[in-house]
Structure 1
Amino acid sequence: MALDALVPNDPRVEHKFISFGDIKYYYVLAKPQGKPAATVLLLHGWPDLSYGWRYQVPYLQSLGLQVIVPDMLGYGQTSAPTALEEYTLKNMAAHMAGIIKAHSDEPIILGGHDWGGFFVWRVYAYYPELIRGIFSICVPYMPPSPIKMSLEEIVKKLPNFTYQLQFASPVGEAIMNKSPERIRGLMNGFFGGRTPDGKGPTAINIGIVEENLENIGQSPIVSAADIDHYVKEHSRHGFNGPFNWYRTRDLNGDDDVALAKDTEFKIKIPAALVMAEKDKALPPRLADGQEKYFEAGLKKDVIMGADHWLMVERPDEINKFIGDFVKSVLGDDLKAAL
């Protein structure tokens, strides 16, 4: 049986906005029948949207949970400022705290994928009192470093991050902002579409491969209507905002040095991490030894045969992974709601 999924502008959920000064966030708010057992906040990565969680929202709602899913800063209907200072993890964590406080008086469960999966660990570092459980898809916990490192230095240690050099430069943005068809090719390619000779939209040692973009065919797992939605939403602002997440290494490095002085490296609440076997940029080996950082335990898994876009490629398995984790965190609270 096909899993339930949201559609663009789905009337079953509320489409809301919240402002922090000049910054405005768009987010989806899904409420269950009756009083929610808890609230779940889901954070997407690059170059996704809140829509990337469309298979997870109805499922979590069915468990008696309230679900909040924003377009992250720079994406979709959320503001896309040009100033890099707006995109620091510390600054955006304050935005997430504001969204949480607007909808929950109790600590929430926080989850993320890709950049969102990295970001959740920092949201916890800044606002541990707001979170009772945390999970990441494809991104292991990387503690704040007391030593500031440049992106170039990180790439030397982790060559699988070489693509980030292009993303942080003007090159990737220039490629993507040339036409909506570039966006269509990128999104189809990320979801399994290929050129006639089998090439994808990116390479981890390069970044975006420009000559491939407009020759990539339809995704085998995402509909043309869904891709149309991505093209429309990414065309609102272009790619300056999404690429700005890669341009804050220096600013985030300063914040991490300060954070490392004041914060233990341990995660003190229940946590979960799932990796994808075929993810070249974030291979499962990056999660080796993670358990040492988690005082309350770490639920860890690898989905075999899967690539980076687990929420769409393997929604049933991801829903089970998240659902089992949520049930383990909430226990009797969830049973009472059901």
Structure 2
Amino acid sequence: MDTSKLKPNDPRVKYETKQIRGKTYSYILGEPQGPKVETVVLVHGWPDMAFGWRHQIPYLMSLGFQVVAPNMLGYAGTDAPRDLSQFTLKSVSADIAELARSFVGQDGQIVLGGHDWGGAVVWRTAYYHPELIKAVFSVCTPLHPLSAEYKPLEDIVAAGHMLNFKYQLQLKGPDVEARIQGKDMLRRFFRAMFGGRGPNGEAGFSTSEGVHFDVLDKIGAPPLLDEQELEYYVEQYALQEAPELRGPLNWYRTRELNAKDEMDRAKNGPPLRFEMPALFVAASKDNALPPAMSKGMDAFYKDLTRAEVDATHWALTQAGDEVNRVIGEWLNKALNGANKAAL
């Protein structure tokens, strides 16, 4: 089959919605042309959407996988609750589990993959619902240990730690939500987020500051989105009522809620331990989630495969073929050759 990246509204896949734990989720559904090997659920991050997996979905379909890529809570046709507790990793993991079981049944299993916030989701989904997960992988996002206590990010940054997360202080506040509204501002925002530059090389986003509002109107075409894709991002985000970024930014407002969900488990168990095959793909030039953040995570896995691609945080598109190769080879090993005929 054609394994080229998905185009907006690509007819090779379906665009559907389901009611999941009282919320409407929209998702991309890809069906293999031949016998189905397994079902893969792909979880995107910020500020992306299911379409962020456009390089991976056709490839996985060609290997015989049914692919389900939801637009996550707050994004692109999926509900955006005002209740922040709906956005916690524990709550979203329950959403993913129910969505998955609608395809594989109560006793079925899935392969689960994530990127960025989606990576955080898949590690927690595999922890909270291990019986559901046959194999799990994350691109860019390492495992974060369970939270034994809550420390405000402001205090951590002020102490000189986790400076690569300094941008999150801006994102969880009011400014980005208030100022990035309407299609024109969304268009400028996506140009900046996906690598566009000003006439003198100015960046529209950095991990040290966040969105650089003073240069947004100067940012040119982004190298990681063609014109059609850029407009698709704008149109999909505009499906949410203004402020359009409230839902996506809510993910950055859950740090304390996530910690409260995990404190008891961090102290009393069950331990953070993964028995299923796992894959972590780091991106060598990722400033937000540098590969060094993954140090020590091997101890939590029975069977962890590591790989690294030469890319920035946007490895799914920037190094799409290489990411696909790594995932495909790992899946063949993790599933005992079930997809070997298609590789």
> Shared fold by TM > 0.5?
yes
Pairwise CA distance, 1:22:
3.9
* Partner deviation per Cα, 1:121-162 (whole Å, 9 max, x = no partner): 111111110001111111101121222222224434211101
2:152 corresponds to which letter in structure 1?
S
Aligned to 2:250: 244
Aligned to 1:228: 231
Task: List aligned pairs for 1:180-259, cutoff 5 A.
Answer: 180-237=183-240, 238-259=244-265
Q: Is the 8 A contact 1:184 1:231 kept in 2?
A: yes
Aligned to 2:17: 17
Task: List aligned pairs for 1:252-291, cutoff 5 A.
Answer: 252-260=258-266, 261-291=268-298
Aligned to 1:113: 115
Q: What is the root-mean-square deviation of aligned Cα atoms in Å?
A: 1.7
1:279 corresponds to which letter in structure 2?
D
Work out the CA distance in 2 between the residues paired with 1:154 and 1:328.
40
Q: Is the 8 A contact 2:180 2:245 kept in 1?
A: yes
Gap runs ≥5 in structure 2: none
Residues 129 and 309 of structure 1: CA distance in aligned 2, closer, same or farther (over 3 Å): same
Residues 118 and 331 of structure 1: CA distance in aligned 2, closer, same or farther (over 3 Å): same
Aligned to 1:52: 52
Of the candidates 123, 134, 137, which is equivalent to residue 135 of structure 1? 137
* Partner deviation per Cα, 1:173-223 (whole Å, 9 max, x = no partner): 11212x322221222223221111111221212111111222111122321
Aligned to 1:171: 175
What TM-score does the superposition give when structure 1 sets the normalisation length? 0.94
Work out the CA distance in 1 between the residues paired with 2:129 and 2:21.
20
Name the SS for the 2:253 alignment partner.
Answer: coil
1:158 corresponds to which letter in structure 2?
M
Pairwise CA distance, 1:290:
2.2
* Partner deviation per Cα, 1:229-271 (whole Å, 9 max, x = no partner): 0011112220000000000111111001133233212221111
Work out the CA distance in 1 between the residues paired with 2:44 and 2:273.
24
- 1:161 and 2:165 aligned: yes
Q: Is the 8 A contact 1:276 1:310 kept in 2?
A: yes
1:248 corresponds to which letter in structure 2?
T
Gap runs ≥5 in structure 1: none
Name the SS for the 2:339 alignment partner.
Answer: helix
Work out the CA distance in 1 between the residues paired with 2:309 and 2:265.
32
Q: Using the aligned pairs only, state the percent identity.
A: 40
Of the candidates 302, 311, 317, which is equivalent to residue 295 of structure 1? 302
Q: Is the 8 A contact 1:37 1:337 kept in 2?
A: no
Aligned to 1:89: 89
Work out the CA distance in 2 between the residues paired with 1:104 and 1:62.
19
1:58 corresponds to which letter in structure 2?
P
Task: List aligned pairs for 1:324-335, cutoff 5 A.
Answer: 324-335=329-340
What TM-score does the superposition give when structure 2 sets the normalisation length? 0.93
Work out the CA distance in 2 between the residues paired with 1:144 and 1:307.
27
Name the SS for the 1:245 alignment partner.
Answer: helix
1:161 corresponds to which letter in structure 2?
F
Pairwise CA distance, 1:20:
2.8
Name the SS for the 1:246 alignment partner.
Answer: helix
Work out the CA distance in 1 between the residues paired with 2:78 and 2:279.
28
Work out the CA distance in 1 between the residues paired with 2:94 and 2:135.
18
- Equivalenced residues, count: 334
Residues 287 and 21 of structure 1: CA distance in aligned 2, closer, same or farther (over 3 Å): closer
Pairwise CA distance, 1:336:
7.1
